[in-house]
Amino acid sequence: MNYANMIQSINNPMIDMRSDTVTKPTRGMLDAMVHASVGDDVYGDDPTANELQEFAAKLLGKEDALFLASGTQSNLCAMLTHCQRGEEIITGEHYHIFDSEAGGASVLGGIMFAPISNNRKGGLDISDVVGKIKPNDSHYAITKMLSLENTHDGMVQTVSEINDLANCGKKHGLVVHLDGARLMNATVKLNIDVSDMLRNVDSVSLCLSKGLGAPMGTILAGSKTFIKQAHRNRKLLGGAMRQVGVMAAAGLYALKNNVERMDADHQNALRLAEQLNQFPNINVNVDMVETNMIFMDIKGGIAESMRKHLQNKGILIGPGNNKIRLVTHLGYGHEEGDLVINELKDFFN
Ligand SMILES: Cc1ncc(COP(=O)(O)O)c(C=O)c1O
């Protein structure tokens, strides 16, 4: 898509609620991209990528940071850096790192996963973590890492929950990684500094391309030694890029301008969730809508016809027959919310 088309698409009236990854760069972000200073980042010469990495490291309270193409690449880089072949990662059975990243750590790194149940709020229970740690016995893989996720399905883990899990991991000699693809949604919701959430985790992955609204990119942060090795692994994964400052500028813009506004996404999600409960066949557990995601339970086999009806009106919602996800983001405001509700009234009439 060229610059002119990108600007045109900002005015596209379609309401896309499938994910917060669907956002288009705003004019301010596009301006930052167009005016970015660039250089060859493989030589370490891209001033904007360097600025983003320094800014992000400081923001996250870590020694160093690395800009990667995607959340999947960032998580994979973290796992390859922390673990050797024959080592194992304890994580939630519904966490993205385990069930939605093509098993990359196993395929490419010879690393095993030891999944445990997620609790009702998407977190992990300490007793389950401890119970999954393998004894030091030559029959077993070596338990090496604990991988957490915040937010999960839009639900927030508090600082004390993350701290307790991280400390438990540390006590048992594990490295602790946090997949914070949507971490800023959690910290905005809790009204805390993001670094407070990260004191006891060794590495964190933060996506710039979800609620933060950049077209691509993820930050991986941790100690200097960790990032040096992750830099090597990024190369190994084919993720070393050249004049990447154009994209880093979007990420920098997102971190400087799009964090606090996510509170509006959370309010909009809650407002929509409450309104959805007026319809027969739809039930939303409003207590579970903590940030920008809504899960509708659908009864009566109406999901497909409802989805088609909305699609014909330019409104896209998630897949599924019994449970459908809706996600709010910077392309969704009160006006869009009213349109969605009106089209649903039309459908149910
Ligand atoms: C929790 C979580 N982690 C990681 C990722 C991977 O990000 P990406 O799609 O940029 O690879 C996603 C993607 O939606 C995610 O939801």
Cα 281 versus chain centre, distance? 30
Residue 7, pLDDT above cutoff 60: no
Look at residues 262, 270, 279 and name the one whose alpha carbon lies nearest to residue 348: 279
Cβ(71) to ligand 1 under 6 A? yes
CA distance linking residue 208 with residue 258, whole number of Å: 10
Residue 4, pLDDT above cutoff 90: no
Percent above pLDDT 90 for the chain: 96
Cβ(181) to ligand 1 under 6 A? yes
Cβ(207) to ligand 1 under 6 A? yes
Tell me which residue has its CA closest to atom 8 in ligand 1: 71
> What residues contact residue 192 under an 8 Å CB cut-off, 6+ apart?
159
Query: Which domains are assigned to the chain?
Result: 3-22+261-348 (3.90.1150.10), 36-257 (3.40.640.10)
Q: pLDDT tens digits, residue range 279-313?
A: 999 999 999 999 999 999 999 999 999 999 999 99
Cβ(179) to ligand 1 under 6 A? yes
Q: pLDDT tens digits, residue range 322-344?
A: 999 999 999 999 999 999 999 99
Q: pLDDT tens digits, residue range 202-232?
A: 999 999 999 999 999 999 999 999 999 999 9
What is the value of pTM for the model shown? 0.95
Please state whether the peptide bond connecting residue 151 to the residue before it is cis, i.e. omega within 30 degrees of 0.
Answer: yes
**Considering the chain, what is the average pLDDT of its residues?**
95
Cβ(72) to ligand 1 under 6 A? yes
Q: Please give the number of the atom of ligand 1 that sits closest to the Cα of 19.
A: 14
Long-range contacts of 269-278 (CB under 8 A, 24+ apart): 269/154, 269/293, 269/294, 269/326, 269/327, 269/328, 271/334, 271/337, 272/326, 272/328, 272/337, 272/340, 272/341, 275/337, 275/341, 276/341, 276/344
Half-sphere exposure of 221 (CA within 13 A, CB side): 28
Q: Please give the number of the atom of ligand 1 that sits closest to the Cα of 72.
A: 11
Cβ(20) to ligand 1 under 6 A? no
pLDDT (average), residues 261-266: 98
Percent above pLDDT 70 for the chain: 96
Residue 255, pLDDT above cutoff 70: yes
- Strand-strand pairing, 315-316 and 15-16: parallel
CB 44: neighbour CB atoms within 10 A? 10
**What's the token pair of residue 74?**
């960032």
- How many angstroms separate the alpha carbon of residue 44 from the centre of ligand 1? 26
Look at residues 145, 159, 147, 162 and name the one whose alpha carbon lies nearest to residue 191: 159
Ligand 1 mutation pick, 93, 178, 207, max ligand atoms within 8 A of CB? 207
